[in-house]
Chains A and B, each alone.
Chain A
Amino acid sequence: MTRWAMTVDLRRCIGCQTCTAACKQTNATPPGTQWRQVLDIESGEYPDVRRTFVPVGCMHCADPPCVHVCPTTATRKRDDGLVTMDYDVCIGCGYCAVACPYQARHINHRRSFAYGDAPDETEAARFDPRRMAVANKCTFCVDRIDAGLAQGLKPGVDPEATPACVNSCITETYAFGDREDPNSNVSQLLAENHWFRMHEELGTDPGIYYIVDGK
């Protein structure tokens, strides 16, 4: 069984937001909606102050609260661990958004544009009316994964089959692969390093692993 998962090496992230831009470009999300974002967390007290950049998004949980609460089954979990959205079924009730502990879900009730009250050429061309007034979120670029697999490519190894944020990262903060495969890049990284998963105490079994130190 496959479970697609992501590792984020927090030692490497410099907060350049290239992944954020790549995600927006790939998925044409409107202003205010970032499926991938990088948090800039300042913590501690002078003189022991730290600044940490933390990429977040849908964690593609193994036990996803959003799937459980969704009254329409628009949100589903695939056998490979990806949590998907069916825009044609969602009623936009927002229940998944309040059930998600990672603030990963968005609902756009009105069209918004980067500049002014009208779409620019790209926004007009890439506007998807199916996404209006329904929940949307990071898909781990499921379309790229599926298309790549169909061509015999390996997600996380071949860029054509790998999420855009992972491809774009200039510091190799991200890795993507099959958590169930002990020889995959993510499994090896997790075996060699100390890591945590966010809000793991809530029992969601999230699919993004944060690396903080080597073993």
Chain B
Amino acid sequence: MSFVEPKAGRVAPWIQTNWDLRAAGNFIGGGSGTGLLIVAAFAAGAAYRPFALLGLALVALGLSSVFLEIGRHLRAPRVLAHVGRSWMTREAIVAPFLFAAGLAAAWYQTPALAGLTALLAAAYLYCQAQIVHAAKGIPAWREPRSVPLMVVGSLAEGAGLLVLVLAILDRSFAVRWPALALAVLLVARTVAWRGYRKRLQAPAAALAALDAGRRIFDRLGNWVAAPVAIVASMLAPGPLAAGLAAAAGALAAACGWHFKAMLITRAAHNQGFALPALPVRGKGPVGPAAKPGW
């Protein structure tokens, strides 16, 4: 027996079900991947190749993830049709150029190609942030400060991955400055989060979901990871510095992913329905406004 969950008749905001973890995967992979490509262009130096390949792989994973979400896979190329207005189209247009430049940069490892890749990665990342912002039906997404939060958050995730991989590759001597950069980006992510949360007007359930997730994202991913990264950057090169840097990097990336998954799947309550005035029944004035769930 098939069962269709009834959606009709609901009034207060409910969690949208059109985008799930597959869509979140695009923001996680695309954000971290482009963040890594950007910070690696500045910080990876001679070791650029593995970071470029990892960044591109993450972007590809994100695109593959969202490809699984769409209903008509064979029509996917049609996503390129609306460059005039749709940020999703713009993201799709930037993608092949990003992969071409990134692969060339990984192969030749020249600063110019790495810089070009970083520029394209920034464009891709900005498109992703605007995709979320343009979703007017979801209050937690349409808030304008979601854009800097997504951009800065993705850069922090990328820096976290860079530091983590640097430490794993036993390049502890090279961890100092990337770890410091990670700390700076985590502070920026904290500021962006606070600005976003302060201005956000969303259904009570969406705010509750965000505040519940804050324990992981903000406290662990920012307030714990940043000091650890700072300590790692101040220590003499060695296993301890590398270990702390790796821990900070892993926390920064994982908690950023957690936030994006939460934003797309758990704080994604729709607008619901609202009446600025209730109709007159018989005689008397109009009734007071009704906005259930807010």
The chain A residues found within 8 Å of chain B, CB to CB, are 9-11, 20, 30-32, 34, 37, 39-41, 43-44, 50, 52, 54, 56, 65, 67-74, 89-95, 97-103, 107, 109-113, 116-117, 132-134, 194, 196, 198-200, 202, 204, 210-214
Count contacts between A and B, CB distance < 8 Å. Answer: 191
B86: A residues at CB distance < 8 A: 68-71, 95
A132: B residues at CB distance < 8 A: 71
Let me know if A103 and B287 touch, CB within 8 A.
no
* Docked complex Cα distance between A41 and B268 (Å): 22
Q: Say whether chain B's binding surface is mostly helix, strand, loop, or mixed.
A: loop
Q: Which one of B66, B76, B92, B275 lies within 8 Å of A52 (CB-CB)?
A: B275
Let me know if A10 and B279 touch, CB within 8 A.
yes
A103: B residues at CB distance < 8 A: 7, 137, 270-273
* Docked complex Cα distance between A5 and B16 (Å): 27
A102: B residues at CB distance < 8 A: 137, 271, 273
Let me know if A72 and B79 touch, CB within 8 A.
yes
Residues A72 and B275 in contact in the complex (CB < 8 Å), given A32-B5, A110-B2, A204-B136: no
B290: A residues at CB distance < 8 A: 41, 43-44, 50, 52
B272: A residues at CB distance < 8 A: 103
Let me know if A99 and B2 touch, CB within 8 A.
no
Tell me how far the C-beta of A84 lies from the nearest C-beta in chain B, rounded to whole angstroms: 15
Contact mask B1-40 → A, CB, 8 Å, 1/0? Answer: 1101111110100001011000100000000000000000
Tell me how far the C-beta of B269 lies from the nearest C-beta in chain A, rounded to whole angstroms: 11
Tell me how far the C-beta of B63 lies from the nearest C-beta in chain A, rounded to whole angstroms: 12
Residue B212 is within 8 A (CB to CB) of chain A in the complex: no
* Docked complex Cα distance between A40 and B23 (Å): 32
Let me know if B134 and A71 touch, CB within 8 A.
no
With most chain B CB atoms within 10 A of its CB, the pick from A52, A56, A116, A200 is A52
Let me know if B6 and A90 touch, CB within 8 A.
no
Tell me how far the C-beta of B27 lies from the nearest C-beta in chain A, rounded to whole angstroms: 13
Closest to B6 in A: A32
* Docked complex Cα distance between A9 and B87 (Å): 38
A11: B residues at CB distance < 8 A: 279-281
Closest to B16 in A: A98
Let me know if A116 and B273 touch, CB within 8 A.
no
Let me know if A39 and B273 touch, CB within 8 A.
yes
* Docked complex Cα distance between A36 and B271 (Å): 18
Let me know if A101 and B278 touch, CB within 8 A.
no
Residue B82 is within 8 A (CB to CB) of chain A in the complex: yes
Let me know if A92 and B85 touch, CB within 8 A.
no
Let me know if A40 and B9 touch, CB within 8 A.
yes
Enumerate 6 A-B pairs (CB-CB under 8 Å) in ascending A order.
Answer: A32-B5, A65-B137, A69-B86, A93-B69, A95-B86, A212-B277
Residues A107 and B271 in contact in the complex (CB < 8 Å), given A41-B11, A65-B136, A69-B85: no
Closest to A89 in B: B78
B136: A residues at CB distance < 8 A: 65, 99-101, 202, 204
A113: B residues at CB distance < 8 A: 2
* Docked complex Cα distance between A191 and B131 (Å): 39
